[in-house]
Amino acid sequence: MRGIHTLLRLLAAVFVAHLLCSTGTAKVTAGKIKKFLDTDNHTNNWAVLVCTSRFWFNYRHIANTLSMYRTVKRMGIPDSHIILMLADDVACNPRNCFPATVFDHPQKTTDLYGDNVEVDYRGYEVTVENFIRLLTGRVTTNTPRNKRLLTDDKSNIFIYMTGHGGEDFLKFQDSEEINSYDIADAMQQMWEKQRYREILFVIDTCQANTMFSKFYAPNVLSIGSSEKGENSYSHYHDRDIGVSVIDRFTYYNLKFFESVDMSSKHTMADLISTYNISLIHSTPGVRTDLFARELEKTYLTDFFGAVQEIELTAEPYPIGKNSVS
């Protein structure tokens, strides 16, 4: 949104000079701009990344979430549009032989924690209540800005959840659970409040597909890592750190994303077609009945990146009382 406003402001400055002589082409430009501003596409991207586990032996869930965080950041979503919920007790855990780092591969090539990580909900703030309040926007008045999901009706939201789960529930921090009906109702609230345009819901837990089985709000695309009755498995085990560092489903997603950047035209169908049950060791599921568009026409950057649509015009266009929008 901000990008378009800046651009239009620049154009307005040029418009003043050309106002008298270009009334004819101005109409064409006006038409173009009207079409541009009335578009049905999303205009901004948000990401909500939730790790519902704490403790040292759940290192891999923190690594899953941080890997996704790095991916969406790399693809262009800024920290101000990412809500990261982590227990965050792993990087500085006394048991960590590599303090202040989190790795997702035994080769330890990328430090996911690094210098540039902004955790919004950390430690005991990652609760079911906070998560639902975040989604529905019913936060208390003194909630800081970085803990609010400031989406509008043209936002695409990528929600990623990982942790320990079961049939129709997900364990939050060893003390409470959220069930699939809660999330379904929260999403319906979001739809009624026009808080999203489309949601991509990805979940990597045991029996993950049950979590989105109860959704009923429109424009929600869901991907889960395992069917009911199946476990999701961890992938790499690091013998220096002494824990498993990544889960299989997330790992194979990240592997696909290594070939994707901001300019890529890969679609969701491409991503889903790379899922290989014999590698993931569980059956990933996709739920498309609530999603209006076709997967072949849905770009990955619609959810994972923050790609701005920019249209350059030759003529200036006045904004303000005389403008079309």
Partner 1 sequence: MSLVLSGQGEKASPLLRAARKYSAYLSYPLALCGLLWLLALPYSYFWRRVYFSENAMLPGQVQTIFGAPSHLDAIKQLDTALQTADRAQAIESVFAGMGLDTEVQHFSYDKVPRVENATGTNVHGILKARRSDSVEALVIAASWTTADNDSNVNGVRLLAGLAKYASEQTYWARDIVFVVTDSGEMGIETWLRAYQGLSTSAPLFVRSGIIQAALSIELPPAKMYSGLGVYFEGKGGQLANLDYVNMVQYVSRLERMPAYLHGVSDVSRKSSWWTKYRAAAQMLLRQVRTQAFGSSAGVHAPFLRYRIDAITLAGIPRANDPVFALFKSQIVFADTDVPDIPSAQQIGRTIEATMRSLNNLLERFHQSFFFYMLPANQRYLSIGDYVPAAVLMVASLLVQAMHLWWMQGPKELRSDSPQTRITRINAYYALLR
Which positions are annotated as active-site residues?
Answer: 164, 206
Q: Is 96 in the site for partner 1 (CB under 8 A)?
A: yes
Q: How many C-beta atoms lie closer than 10 Å to residue 11's C-beta?
A: 18
Identified binder of partner 1 from the candidate list 56, 191, 233, 299, rule CB under 8 A: 56
Q: Between residues 31 and 99, which has the closer beta carbon with respect to partner 1?
A: 99
Q: Quote the least distance from Cβ 12 to partner 1, whole Å.
A: 58
How does DSSP assign 166-220, residue by residue?
Answer: ETTEEEETTTEEEEHHHHHHHHHHHHHTT--SEEEEEEESTTGGGGGTT--SSSE
Tokens of 2: 């901000």
Interface with partner 1, residue 233, by CB under 8 A: no
> C-beta of 134: minimal distance to partner 1 in Å?
28
Number of chain positions touching partner 1 (CB under 8 A):
15
C-alpha to C-alpha distance for 300 and 266, rounded to whole angstroms? 6
Task: Determine the interface stretch with partner 1 among 49-57, 115-123, 141-149, 291-299 (rule: CB under 8 A).
Answer: 49-57
**Binding flag, residue 239, partner 1 (CB under 8 A):** yes
Question: Does residue 97 belong to the site contacting partner 1 (CB under 8 A)?
Answer: yes
Select from 3-11, 196-204, 236-244, 285-293 the region that touches partner 1 (CB under 8 A): 236-244
Taking the C-alpha atoms of residue 165 and residue 142, their distance in angstroms, rounded to an integer, is 32
Q: How far is CA 167 from the centre of its chain?
A: 24
> What angle do helix axes 59-74 and 248-257 make, rounded to 10 degrees?
20
Question: Could you tell me the smallest distance in angstroms from the CB atom of residue 97 to partner 1?
Answer: 5
Specify the DSSP element, H or E, that contains 106: none
d(CA 171, CA 314): 55
Per rule CB under 8 A, is residue 99 in the interface with partner 1? yes
Amino acid letter, residue 194: Q
What x/- string results for residues 241 through 280 when contact with partner 1 is judged by CB under 8 A?
xxx-------------------------------------
Main-chain phi, psi angles of 125, to 5 degrees: -80, -10
Distance CA 30, CA 42 (A): 21
Two tokens, residue 160: 């990623």
Q: Does 55 bind partner 1 (CB under 8 A)?
A: yes
Query: Does residue 123 interact with partner 1 by CB under 8 A?
Result: no
Comparison of 33 and 170: residue with beta carbon closer to partner 1: 170
- Rule CB under 8 A: say whether 57 interacts with partner 1: yes
Q: Which stretch binds partner 1 (CB under 8 A): 25-33, 95-103, 124-132, 276-284?
A: 95-103
Q: Report if residue 107 touches partner 1, rule: CB under 8 A.
A: no
The yes or no reply on residue 143 touching partner 1 (CB under 8 A) is: no
* 8 A C-beta contact, residue 173 and residue 53: yes
In the block, tokens 């300019």 appear at 263
State yes or no: residue 237 binds partner 1 (CB under 8 A). Answer: yes
**Positions in the binding site for partner 1 (CB under 8 A):** 55-57, 93-97, 99, 237, 239-243
